[in-house]
Amino acid sequence: MTFGGLHGRSALSAVSEKIVTPVILSVRRLAPLLILALLAACGPSPSDDTVQREHPMYPGIQDGDFFIPPVPPQYLISTNIRTEVPYLGPDEPGSIVVDTYARRLYHVHEGGMATRYAIAVGREGLSFRGSGVVGRKQEWPSWQPTANMIRTQPETYAQYAAGLPGGLDNPLGARALYLYRGGSDTRFRIHGTIDPASIGRATSAGCIRLFNQDALHLYENADIGARVHVRTADESLALEGAWIDDEFGRIVKVPDGMSVEEAQGHIAERAAKLPPPDPTEANRPAAETTGS
């Protein structure tokens, strides 16, 4: 709307023009804060979930004897959807690049492009830095807790001491890629999940999780022997910028023009207004764990 271009404008229009200018300036100053709020609210509301259909990239899939459920729409916020993007890093085509700070994984292609996947990162996923190779890949991998997990949490893991076959209740999901270094298994895994709500979040246990549909996609396109590089904090900041958790534990980018401290302050204010967490959720055992 432009008031200056009208001929014979009314007195009311002239007054409106004087009011609009400072309002626009105020909005510009608030822009970083507004962007942060929009990023936090980019997931659809629960009332919308009931009317949304399956996402075409994340449908239900019959995979051999198992049916992989579709990813619920509320978990498919924009940063969680598999996307082809320009790739600005130094890694060669064919490489897999894991950024645990921005919680994204790249499969690098020719022509300066890459497929970007959203990931969840567990404690074990934070323990590895540097490079390795995909030593093996497995469909519907089996899983076995480590001796330390059984010792420290026997009530949760002792029942799985002999191992858990692959399937819909297996925490490694539909596919797994195993990272090797110097010919030895590093116990670093890139795998599917039985907990789609965790994608884009930090988790209490496990390595690097993908939606099962994304795990299938990466499994089909990544080769045995492919280089895997896990970025350092400095590499992530240089290539991705700063990312932090919002009030729901989802990863969001710090807007340009706002410091990390300012963004965290706004998120803390919003978090204080949320209802108390469901105690039954806090007592749930970890959905994903390390192991074989």
The secondary element (H helix, E strand) that includes residue 106 is strand 104-108
Cα–Cα distance for residue pair 249/242, rounded to 1 Å: 15
24-33, 76-85, 191-200: least confident range: 24-33
Q: Mind giving me the DSSP string for 251-265?
A: EEEPPTT--HHHHHH
More confident residue, 5 or 97: 97
27-41, 70-84, 132-146, 229-243: least confident range: 27-41
State the average pLDDT over residues 214-240: 96
Whether residue 70 is predicted with pLDDT greater than 50 in this model: the reply is: yes
DSSP designation for 160: G
pLDDT digits (tens, 9 = 90+) for 157-204: 899 999 999 999 999 999 999 999 999 999 899 999 999 999 998 875
Cα–Cα distance for residue pair 59/72, rounded to 1 Å: 9
Backbone phi and psi for residue 102, each to the nearest 5 degrees, phi listed first: -90, -5
More confident residue, 100 or 31: 100
State the average pLDDT over residues 71-96: 96
3-class secondary structure, 277: coil
Cα–Cα distance for residue pair 93/107, rounded to 1 Å: 8
pLDDT at 203: 74
Which residues sit opposite 86 in a β-bridge?
A: 113
pLDDT at 122: 76
pLDDT digits (tens, 9 = 90+) for 49-64: 433 578 999 999 999 9
% of the chain surpassing 90 pLDDT: 58
3-class secondary structure, 12: helix
pTM of the entire predicted model:
0.76
- Positive or negative torsion for Cα 49, 54, 57, 60: positive
Q: Rounded to the nearest 10 degrees, how much is the dihedral formed by the CA atoms of 274, 275, 276, 281?
A: -90
Q: In the chain, which residues fall in CATH 2.40.440.10?
A: 62-282
Cα–Cα distance for residue pair 243/91, rounded to 1 Å: 21
CA atoms within 13 A on the CB side of 79: 22
State the average pLDDT over residues 239-257: 88
CA separation, residue 136 to residues 54, 97, 154, 185, 225 (Å): 32, 17, 30, 9, 8
Contacts of 232 (CB under 8 A, 6+ apart): 129
Contact (CB, 8 A) for 83 and 107:
no
Class of domain 62-282: mainly beta
Whether residue 21 is predicted with pLDDT greater than 70 in this model: the reply is: no
Contacts of 62 (CB under 8 A, 6+ apart): 68
Whether residue 90 is predicted with pLDDT greater than 80 in this model: the reply is: yes
More confident residue, 39 or 251: 251
26 class by beta-carbon count within 10 Å (0-12 exposed, 13-18 middle, 19+ buried):
exposed
